[in-house]
Amino acid sequence: MWKNLVKSFIFVLIFNTLFFASPQDWFFTLEARGISAEPINKEYHINLDKPTILKGYTVSSFNNNIKLSLVPGILSEATAVEVIELNEDLDMPWQVDKISRIYQFEFKNKMAYDNHVPFYIQFSYDIPDNKYKQVFFYDKNFSTWRPLPTKDFPKEQFVRSLIHLPFARIAVFSYPEIMTTGRASWYSYKAGNFAASPDFPKGSRLRVKNIENGKFVDVEINDFGPDRGIHPDRVVDLEKTAFNKIASLGDGMAEVEVEPLYIAASDNRTLGINELGAGSGVEINLKSGVIMREDSEEIVWEKNSTSTMPLASLTKMVAVKVFLDTKPTLSTVVSYSLRDEEYNYQHVNKWESASLNIDNGETLTIEDLVYVSLVGSANNTVETLVRASGLARADFINKMNFSVIEWGANNTYFIEPTGLAPENVSSSLDYAIITKEVLKNPIIEKASKTDKYEFYTINTNKFHRIRNTNKIINTNKFNITGSKTGYLDEAGYCLMTRVKAGNGINFIVVTLGADSRDQSFTETSRLIEYGQRKISI
């Protein structure tokens, strides 16, 4: 009898717990018993009558985490207001970090708000940091998140934004690379209220406030800097005229807060986000491209990555690898022959070929030839390397083709070693595979990321300075561990860049078919940023 009473009591207890508890209680009850449960949304409702909206009312929900400031004149009719804390899986923008809960609000009476007068929302965030923050709303028409004008109150850990929507899904996002608090120094260049920033484009306007004394100055960005690789705590540098308005020049440094007043667009994007908003994937205006993890060959992103296209000067990496496989001595002296460059003119006019300006019979080392071929992308010196290899030219080219097939690049083919021939073809995926193999050679790796190379010809003592054609390696924004540019009319602008992510993993970005050199650099930079975000997760 007692056993039956105990069983009945336990049954009633479980029944009451599961079916008469609140939804939140039910969810946590299931979790406590080890039963899997999906996170549930939480709801808040309030009815605003006519007298209330005439006086104005602040809808405050979820422990004041989200507030809607409905001052007089915002609403014209009585309405119910619904606020939901969304605990659902939603696609997030890749460029920024979500640092708050996601909330959805709605005015249930569609006639109560006509969108003409914006209202303020106040939004608490969970994760304090010194980065630039904005409220974003989700635009279901484009499946993107779009930023709103936002003011951050970091000490109070909330933001305020203006919005003019009767319904929206909103969250606070932080830009991981853009600092708003830190140290500022000064420089003397163009006198006035100017500043240098590594985060905000030229033409942007910032309010820079000295945290210690409260003084502020409004400045225009007219230069890039400081280098965060050297000064990780520097948020901005001020021209001395501007710095002197908030601190003594003798102080040298000041702890400051930065508030953007106007952010200039760059490459038709504002802080990397276009007018349609930020999506979960990266959109690139190129014919072909790929991001590949070097260790696993996992494809992180691709666009037409198996389509074959002319390879242009990216060819040279394979030619130099084949040459170095012959085990030459870098200090060996080679005499230049004008016959070497005659091969170039089978494919282009003499004035169209990038070449080292060197005369017949001048001497230089194997090392000089390698660096000039990779850093400066000179075509004539590649042919000199072919001759110096001791292989017949046809055999050298065959070895290039055999090598790439052995590496797994089956859609790649060469008819000459420089890339001047449009018949040299590959795909962006093939070339990522090629890059992985070619950069195993430390000489190629070092040369490909060298900014400039200087040398003297040996017998004539002529000085040469060769500069890298990939300007991305000079930005100090990425940890570049290999690069090569290429261009042909038939190929467009091509670029390979290998980058080490923050977690130490190398990944390779190959882009083919850009319409301009600037577009090639801009779109490749965006892919590098995307790759770093995805690979570092």
Q: Helices 366-375 and 315-324, interaxial angle, to 10°?
A: 160
Picking from 459, 503, 502, 507, the residue whose alpha carbon sits closest to that of residue 477 is 502
The ranges of the chain annotated as CATH 2.60.220.30 are 42-175
Cis peptide bond prior to 226, omega within 30° of 0: yes
Residue showing tokens 């349609």: 276
Question: Is the separation of the CB atoms in 480 and 450 below 8 Å?
Answer: no
- Secondary structure of 181-231 as H, E, C letters: EEEEEEECCCCCCEEECCCCCCCCEEEEEECCCCCEEEEEEEECCCCCCCC
CA distance 65 to 450: 51
Residue showing tokens 């242009």: 312
Predicted confidence at residue 415, as pLDDT, reads 98
Predicted confidence at residue 20, as pLDDT, reads 35
Predicted confidence at residue 248, as pLDDT, reads 97
Report the helix count and the strand count for the chain, using DSSP H and E.
12, 29
Say yes or no to pLDDT of 27 above 50. Answer: no
Q: pLDDT grade, residue 53 (50/70/90)?
A: very high
Say yes or no to pLDDT of 37 above 90. Answer: no
CATH of domain 42-175: 2.60.220.30
CA distance 194 to 238: 6
Say yes or no to pLDDT of 369 above 60. Answer: yes
Give phi and psi for 436, each to the nearest 5.
-55, -40
The ranges of the chain annotated as CATH 3.40.710.10 are 288-535
CA distance 528 to 507: 9
Query: What is the homologous superfamily of the domain 288-535 according to CATH?
Result: DD-peptidase/beta-lactamase superfamily (3.40.710.10)
- What would the two tokens of residue 114 be? 């006509």
Q: pLDDT grade, residue 170 (50/70/90)?
A: very high
- What would the two tokens of residue 10 be? 């336990």
Predicted confidence at residue 38, as pLDDT, reads 57
pLDDT in tens, 284-319: 999 999 999 999 999 999 999 999 999 999 999 999
Please state whether beta strands 167-179 and 102-107 pair in parallel, antiparallel, or not at all (unpaired).
Answer: antiparallel
Please tell us whether the domain made up of 180-262 is placed in CATH 3.40.50.620.
no
Predicted confidence at residue 12, as pLDDT, reads 36
**What are the distances in angstroms from CA 240 to CA 35, 119, 201, 262, 515?**
63, 39, 20, 22, 41
Say yes or no to pLDDT of 19 above 90. Answer: no
pTM: 0.85
CA distance 130 to 339: 61
- What would the two tokens of residue 318 be? 């394979």
| DSSP assignment letter at 248 | -
Report the chain's mean pLDDT, rounded to a whole number.
92
Predicted confidence at residue 31, as pLDDT, reads 36
